[in-house]
């Protein structure tokens, strides 16, 4: 800064802004800033600057620019590092999902943890019974016609290293409860999915029973009952075989009772 500045001189502030000096007084300077546009240079309104320079303070501006550029570079490095971390995480997540999808049971476990599994289809180990059980009901007492009580679902690995699902439940036996388990459990995503799975299980069991001779068929009465409950059509041949078996059983009981009655009559006659 110089004391020989005169009105009309070109001056600059600490930021390098160009202006025309109007007047100086008491350590302050009245200036008209110079602005550039497509039409050329223009003088702005009068402003008060505390400090003016004859030439732009280039060294200071260069230092500030260099510092700003360094800060920008450092920020870009940080952004790049964070992006690399995100990309690595996404890659690891994709690899994990790919491994899970290679194993159907693990995929179900992943969906279970994600809250997508809403129902189970449980098939009784003995006899035949199919039941659709909401996930929420496995956390509290769940009474049903199939004898299920307190349910707990967990995956486990069998002898063949295949992950299965099982339900533990308290089953009433006479006057006490015993722990039991069914390994035929099918997790499902939604009630409609569970209904479709139950129907598929029943249809498969019907096909298996139809492939057998009448004498080798088992639990057909229960099968027909659950088929009707789930809206599955049962072949008339299977219905007739169940009816015939029931008639044959009743006839055997009648014959046995007739023998007992005849024996009792003979005993009564002998004592007369």
In this predicted structure, the answer to whether residue 54 has a pLDDT above a threshold of 80 is yes
Compute the mean pLDDT over every residue in the chain, rounded to the nearest whole number: 77
Instruction: Give the whole-angstrom CA distance, residue 150 versus residue 10.
Output: 92
Q: Are 137 and 122 in contact (CB under 8 A)?
A: no
pLDDT value for 62: 65
Residue 105, pLDDT > 90, answer: no
* pLDDT-based confidence at residue 1 (cuts at 50, 70, 90): very low
Q: Which residues face 270 on adjacent strands?
A: none
- Residues 79-100: tens digit of each pLDDT: 888 888 888 887 877 776 676 5
Q: How confident is the model at residue 197 (pLDDT cuts 50, 70, 90)?
A: very high
Alpha helix positions (H), 6-140: 58-101, 104-113
Tokens at residue 130, please? 């199919």
Structure confidence by residue, pLDDT tens digits, 130-188: 888 887 765 444 444 444 444 445 555 556 555 566 655 544 444 444 444 565 778 88
Q: Kindly report, residue by residue over 246-256, the tens digit of the pLDDT.
A: 777 888 888 88
> What pLDDT, on a 0 to 100 scale, did the predictor assign at position 58?
67
- Tens digits of per-residue pLDDT, 216-263? 888 888 888 889 989 999 888 888 887 777 777 888 888 888 888 888
Is pLDDT at 192 greater than 90 in this prediction?
yes
**Mean pLDDT, residues 41-70 taken together:** 80
Residue 51 · residue 15 · CB < 8 Å: no
Quick check: pTM over 0.75? Answer: no
């Amino acid at each position: 800064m110089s004391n020989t500045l005169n009105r009309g001189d070109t001056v600059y502030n600490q930021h390098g802004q160009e202006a025309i000096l109007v007047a100086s007084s008491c350590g302050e300077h009245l200036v008209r800033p110079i602005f550039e546009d497509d039409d050329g240079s223009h003088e702005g309104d009068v402003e008060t600057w505390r400090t003016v320079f004859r030439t732009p303070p280039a060294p200071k501006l260069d230092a500030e620019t260099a510092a700003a550029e360094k800060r920008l570079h450092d920020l870009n490095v940080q952004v790049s590092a964070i992006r690399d971390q995100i990309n690595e995480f996404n890659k690891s997540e994709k690899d994990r999902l790919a491994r899970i999808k290679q194993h159907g049971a693990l995929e179900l476990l992943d969906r279970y943890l994600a809250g997508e599994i809403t129902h189970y289809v449980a098939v009784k180990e003995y006899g035949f019974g199919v039941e659709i059980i909401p996930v929420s009901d496995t956390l509290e007492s769940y009474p049903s016609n199939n004898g299920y009580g307190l349910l707990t679902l967990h995956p486990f690995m069998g002898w063949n290293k295949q992950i299965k699902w099982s339900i533990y439940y308290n089953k009433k036996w006479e006057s006490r409860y015993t722990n039991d388990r069914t390994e035929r459990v099918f997790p499902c995503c939604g009630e409609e999915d569970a209904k479709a799975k139950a129907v598929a299980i029943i249809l498969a069991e019907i096909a298996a029973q139809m492939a057998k001779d009448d004498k080798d068929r088992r639990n057909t009465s229960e099968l027909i009952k659950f088929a009707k409950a789930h809206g599955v059509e049962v072949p008339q041949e299977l219905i007739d075989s169940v009816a015939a078996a029931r008639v044959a059983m009743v006839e055997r009981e009648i014959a046995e009772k007739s023998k007992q009655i005849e024996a009792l009559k003979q005993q009564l006659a002998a004592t007369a």
